[in-house]
Structure formats: structure tokens, C-alpha cells
């Protein structure tokens, strides 16, 4: 009888303690600063919303700072959080790769762990806990491989680059160029930045169409979907059929690109998952619990040429 009573007490204690422990494992009650690049693209907005929703679901107090594409703003936000001493951790989605050493060192000196999400930094990895991101080089390789197949290795390409100095632009370019270098008939004939922004992608594509014989342009390689959509508008306004007269491949997998795929106005997109908040928060909890983490937590994505294929993978 005594044993039965004791067992009941243990079960009751567990019933109270286990959910508290589970909530703590999710980060409940933590205050985390999140410095986001800005809102340059539909993907970025989806990423912001996904991080905010994840924080809310976990009971995390998220201090959100929109850097409006400025690294200075990101560093200022980090320094303000460190000075106030009210954050348990900081998550940054860096605008560009270089220039982070000092502020990362300051965070480390203050004992505040930093998690990098999405774009990379070129600092020593000892200055941050981990990075949660896709493999941008792989995305570029996937895009180029699709284009090689679609054109049998013969294509004059115009490239719409992302933000200069950002890992997403640099690495996608590296991966794409690695693959086309294997095919003598594939070359980049024009390349300029559109900063990952739809209107800028359109303006750059207009300049390409004005300075090149459009018949000489086989394909657009856009570092993101928003610039691809800008290019689609420019190609249509030039009296050509995007997706047919000029092929288009890009990265992100945003809803608008599937409308364009449905309309036959673009050809392929590489998925970039916006759901990096969960693994980033898990990393914060793990590091605060003293766990060692790998320096890279990868997030995968595939190349899609139809909405049906995307939907089949995301039911
Ligand atoms: O860093 C990822 C890139 O940033 C996305 O591909 C682009 O849409 C965003 O601006």
C-alpha cells in the first residue's frame, strides 16, 4: 500500500515537472535578439514571419530588429542588446559576410551565444555557436545542372546577382559557375546585381535586353525568385515570351514563382526553406545547456519545375 502511494506521488510530481522541462527545452521564457537582413524579397518576409511564429509558439521573447539591408544597423542592434544585458542569446541573419569579428568577440566576451542563420560570416567559427542554413553552393550547382540539361550544354546566360558581398550571392555564383565550366558551350554573357529585389531585377534585365541582341540570350540565371519575376516582366515588355524565348532558373521557391511556372513564364526554382527558426532556437537551448554543436546545421532544398512536384513533397 505504501509503495502504491509512493508511486502515485512520483507520477504526480512527474506530471507537473515533465511539461515544465519540455517547455524549457523549447526555450520558453528566454529572451533572444534577432537581427534580420531586411525585407528585400518575398522569401525574406516569409522567413521573418516563420521565425516570429516559432518564437511565439515556444514562448520565447523575441526582440526583432530589421536592419534594412545595413550591416551597421545589425552591429548597432547587437551592441544595444549587449549593453542592456537583457538577452540570453542573439541570432543574426547577416547582410554581408565580412566585418563581424569585433562584434562577435564582444558578444563572446559578454557570454552571449550567437547563432548565425541563412547567410554566412567569414569570421573564425570559434566566435559563434553554429550556423543554420542551406548550402548556397549546392543551390547554384542545382540551377546550373538543370540549365545544362535543358539546353544540352549550349547557352548564353545573363546573370542577376544578389547583394554583392553576401554569402547567398557569392556562393550561388560559385556553384553555378563550377558546373557550367564543364561545358564549353555555356557562358555568362552579362552579369549585374539586382540586390535580390524585384524592381532592381527588372531594371537590370531591361538593360541586358537593350544592350544585347535578345535572340542571343538563351537564359536568365537569377540568384532569387523576386529578381526572376522582375526579369519576366522585362522580357514580356520587350515582346518576348519568358520561359520559352528565354529560359529562367532561380532560387527561393516563393508562391509567386509557382504562378509563373503554372503560366509557363519561368522554368525552374531551387527551394530555400524559410523554416530555420526552429533549428536556431533548438541550438540556443542546446548551447545554454552546455551541449557542443556542429558548426553547421544544414537545411535542405530541391529544384522544382512544377507546382505539382513541389506540392507532392510538401503535403
Ligand atoms: O540569403 C538568402 C537570400 O536572401 C534569398 O535567396 C533572397 O530572396 C533573400 O533576399
pLDDT digits (tens, 9 = 90+) for 109-147: 999 999 999 999 999 999 999 999 999 999 999 999 999
Q: Calculate ∠ Cα 121-252-259, nearest 5°.
A: 165
**Residue bearing the CA closest to ligand 1, atom 2:** 168
List Cα–Cα distances, 42 to 22, 124, 143, 216, in angstroms: 33, 31, 20, 30
With a 6 A CB cut-off, is 281 part of the ligand 1 pocket? Answer: no
Question: What would the DSSP string read from start to end of 228-275?
Answer: HHHHHHHHHHTT--BTTTBEEEEEE--HHHHHHHHTTS--EEEE--S-
What's the CA-to-centroid distance between 301 and ligand 1, angstroms?
14
Q: Does residue 201 or residue 1 have the better pLDDT?
A: 201
With a 6 A CB cut-off, is 58 part of the ligand 1 pocket? Answer: no
Residues 41-62 have a mean pLDDT of 98
What local confidence, expressed as pLDDT, does residue 4 receive?
47
Mutation pick for ligand 1 pocket among 253, 254, 272, 276 (CB with most ligand atoms within 8 Å): 272
Q: How confident is the model at residue 11 (pLDDT cuts 50, 70, 90)?
A: very low
Mutation pick for ligand 1 pocket among 43, 51, 176 (CB with most ligand atoms within 8 Å): 43
* Size (the chain), residues: 315
What local confidence, expressed as pLDDT, does residue 234 receive?
98
> Reading across the β-sheet that carries 61-66, which strands appear in turn?
61-66, 31-36, 89-92, 114-117, 130-133, 296-298
**Residue bearing the CA closest to ligand 1, atom 3:** 168
pLDDT digits (tens, 9 = 90+) for 187-236: 999 999 999 999 999 999 999 999 999 999 999 999 999 999 999 999 99
With a 6 A CB cut-off, is 40 part of the ligand 1 pocket? Answer: yes
What local confidence, expressed as pLDDT, does residue 22 receive?
58
| Mean of per-residue pLDDT scores for the chain | 94
pLDDT digits (tens, 9 = 90+) for 153-189: 999 999 999 999 999 999 999 999 999 999 999 999 9
Amino acid at each position: 500500500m505504501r509503495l502504491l502511494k509512493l508511486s502515485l506521488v512520483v507520477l504526480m510530481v512527474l506530471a507537473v515537472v515533465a511539461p515544465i522541462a519540455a517547455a524549457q527545452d523549447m526555450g520558453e521564457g528566454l529572451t533572444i535578439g534577432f537581427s534580420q537582413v531586411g525585407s528585400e524579397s518575398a522569401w525574406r518576409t516569409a522567413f521573418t514571419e516563420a521565425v516570429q511564429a516559432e518564437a511565439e509558439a515556444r514562448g520565447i521573447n523575441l526582440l526583432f530588429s530589421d536592419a534594412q539591408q545595413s550591416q551597421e544597423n545589425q552591429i548597432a542592434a547587437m551592441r544595444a542588446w549587449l549593453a542592456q544585458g537583457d538577452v540570453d542569446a542573439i541570432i543574426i541573419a547577416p547582410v554581408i559576410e565580412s566585418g563581424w569579428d569585433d562584434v562577435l568577440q564582444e558578444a563572446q566576451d559578454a557570454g552571449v551565444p550567437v547563432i548565425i542563420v541563412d547567410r554566412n560570416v567569414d569570421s573564425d567559427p570559434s566566435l559563434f555557436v553554429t550556423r543554420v542554413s542551406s548550402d548556397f553552393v549546392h543551390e547554384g550547382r542545382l540551377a546550373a545542372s538543370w540549365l545544362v540539361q535543358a539546353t544540352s550544354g549550349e547557352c548564353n546566360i545573363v546573370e542577376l546577382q544578389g547583394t554583392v558581398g553576401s554569402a547567398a550571392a557569392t556562393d550561388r555564383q560559385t556553384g553555378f559557375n563550377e558546373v557550367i565550366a564543364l561545358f564549353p558551350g555555356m557562358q555568362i554573357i552579362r552579369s549585374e546585381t539586382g540586390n535580390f529585389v524585384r524592381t532592381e531585377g527588372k531594371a537590370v534585365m531591361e538593360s541586358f535586353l537593350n544592350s544585347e541582341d535578345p535572340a542571343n540570350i538563351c537564359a536568365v540565371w537569377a540568384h532569387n525568385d523576386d529578381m526572376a519575376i522582375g526579369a519576366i516582366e522585362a522580357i514580356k515588355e520587350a515582346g518576348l515570351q519568358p520561359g520559352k524565348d528565354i529560359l529562367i532558373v532561380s532560387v527561393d521557391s516563393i508562391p509567386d514563382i509557382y504562378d509563373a511556372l503554372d503560366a509557363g513564364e519561368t522554368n525552374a526554382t531551387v527551394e530555400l526553406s524559410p523554416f530555420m527558426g526552429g533549428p536556431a532556437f533548438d541550438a540556443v537551448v542546446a548551447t545554454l545547456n552546455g551541449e557542443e554543436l556542429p558548426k553547421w546545421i544544414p537545411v535542405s532544398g530541391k529544384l522544382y519545375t512544377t507546382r505539382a512536384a513541389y506540392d507532392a513533397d510538401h503535403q
